[in-house]
Structure 1
Amino acid sequence: MPDPSGRPVRADARANEDKLLAAAALAFARDGAAATLKQIAKDAGVGIATLYRRFPTREQLVDATYRYETARLGARTSPLLRELPADRALRVWMSEVLDYLAAKHGMADTLKALLRDDERLGSQTREQLTGAVEEFRLAAVAQGAFRADVSAPDILMSLAGVTLVAGAVAQRAQAERLLDLLMDGITRPDRWGAGD
């Protein structure tokens, strides 16, 4: 995120911002709307003045946290694909999406207003996440692990459905089981219902 003045951001300031945004994501996931800016600053290991200097309002912090977490998820594809087979990489990423959505739920009230005011933000998020799923999908199809007839938007919508019915922190174990079922559907043979 560029400095509001347009000046280059120093490396230490960028590191502090990254720490603040990571701490904010964890706090919103853990504490929801009750997350305090003071606790976020403390968790990030910086003073409250540092937080307010970079994010003068809660709304600006929520906006930056949402964008940061979306970009972080989008950037996870290449490292995961280097470490794991594509199907396993996608499954790990899906669990990370559950963490992302827990933070998003914690920012829900503020985030709704931001998304209403900036219609492009929601579509940009969908594009980034769909692009990430497509990278996993293409790699998994090439490795023979996924059905070729399942699209990235369908996978993402199915993932969203899991989080709608089991998105609460207390439902995490159920959400993980539902993700396993989703993965089973993606990896089934192309001849759906063969033998019927």
Structure 2
Amino acid sequence: MVDSTTADPATAASATAAPVATQATARPAATADAPPTPRRRADAQRNRDALVEAARSAFTEGGADASLEAIARRAGVGIGTLYRHFPTRSSLVSAVHESGIDALTASVEPLLAEHPPAVALRRWLDGYTEFFSTKRGMAEALREAADAGALSPTNTHARVTASIDALLSAGKDAGEIRDDARADDVTTALVGVFLSTRDAADPAQVGRLVELVLAGIRA
């Protein structure tokens, strides 16, 4: 019988080397990707904002069929960056639309802080008119985005009406707006103005009609 302490040296070496080989070839545990740094997040937000602004200008000038490559160039980024932020044309159209609504709703308080309510309302409506002129070039794309669930016309209407209501309330408190003026009526009247003048030969007609709406609600 062979004593294990006197076993073949080659066999013993092989037995002791195996764990070493296993250890040498073991793969390190996978680690999660590091979260983006504040600078990377800020750069990404700047790129997104630049793309939305470039798209707004392009859609206003040439409609929603504007070249995505041209929009990326206008924003100073590559087409890959555009697609990382907006995988589809509908998602870009929706972002342009939502950014316009965000700007309109955010402007109510600063306008009221700077101007009398009736003037603040007129300035806000100027912004809404400009916003709607952008939407004209995007009409078909907006319908497609709504059908795809990328945006909600009902939510847009509610946010616009809420902004108008805040302006009307301030005007009523100041005695500048009729007490019976309703925000939903004003919103409906304005949408009627914008839709009925889509193909108007006189660009100034929109402003005149908006002024008539305002004249009807002034105290």
TM-score when scaled to structure 1? 0.83
Query: In the alignment, what sits opposite 1:161?
Result: 192
Tell me: CA distance 1:33–1:171, structure 2 relative to 1, closer, same or farther (3 Å). Answer: farther
The yes-or-no answer on 1:147 pairing with 2:178 is yes
**What is the letter of the counterpart of residue 138 of structure 1?**
S
Instruction: Please report how far the alpha carbon of residue 108 of structure 1 lies from its aligned counterpart in structure 2 after TM superposition.
Output: 1.6
The yes-or-no answer on 1:100 pairing with 2:140 is no
Tell me: CA distance 1:98–1:143, structure 2 relative to 1, closer, same or farther (3 Å). Answer: same
Larger Rg over CA atoms = 2
1:111 aligned residue (142, 149, 156):
142
* Alpha carbons 1:19, 1:44 under 8 Å: kept: yes
Q: How well do the aligned residues superpose, as a CA RMSD in angstroms?
A: 2.3
Tell me, which stretches of 5 or more residues in structure 1 are unaligned? Answer: 1-5, 190-196
Instruction: Please report how far the alpha carbon of residue 38 of structure 1 lies from its aligned counterpart in structure 2 after TM superposition.
Output: 2.3
Query: In the alignment, what sits opposite 2:7?
Result: none
**What is the letter of the counterpart of residue 51 of structure 1?**
L
1:39-65 CA-to-partner distances (Å, cap 9, x unmatched) read: 322333333332122112211111211
* Alpha carbons 1:73, 1:97 under 8 Å: kept: yes
* Alpha carbons 2:90, 2:150 under 8 Å: kept: no
**What is the letter of the counterpart of residue 130 of structure 2?**
D
Instruction: Please report how far the alpha carbon of residue 79 of structure 1 lies from its aligned counterpart in structure 2 after TM superposition.
Output: 1.5
**What is the letter of the counterpart of residue 88 of structure 1?**
V
For 2:201 and 2:106, locate their aligned partners in 1 and report how far apart those are by CA, in whole Å.
28
Moved more, 138-147 or 65-74: 65-74
Tell me: CA distance 1:28–1:184, structure 2 relative to 1, closer, same or farther (3 Å). Answer: same
1:62 aligned residue (87, 93, 101):
93
Moved more, 165-174 or 46-55: 165-174
Query: In the alignment, what sits opposite 1:23?
Result: 54
Q: Which runs of 4+ in 1 moved over 4 A?
A: 6-9
Query: In the alignment, what sits opposite 1:74?
Result: 105
Tell me, which stretches of 5 or more residues in structure 2 are unaligned? Answer: 1-34
Instruction: Please report how far the alpha carbon of residue 169 of structure 1 lies from its aligned counterpart in structure 2 after TM superposition.
Output: 8.1
1:88-127 CA-to-partner distances (Å, cap 9, x unmatched) read: 1111111211221122122222211222343971111111
**What is the letter of the counterpart of residue 159 of structure 1?**
L
Aligned length: 183
Query: In the alignment, what sits opposite 1:186?
Result: 217
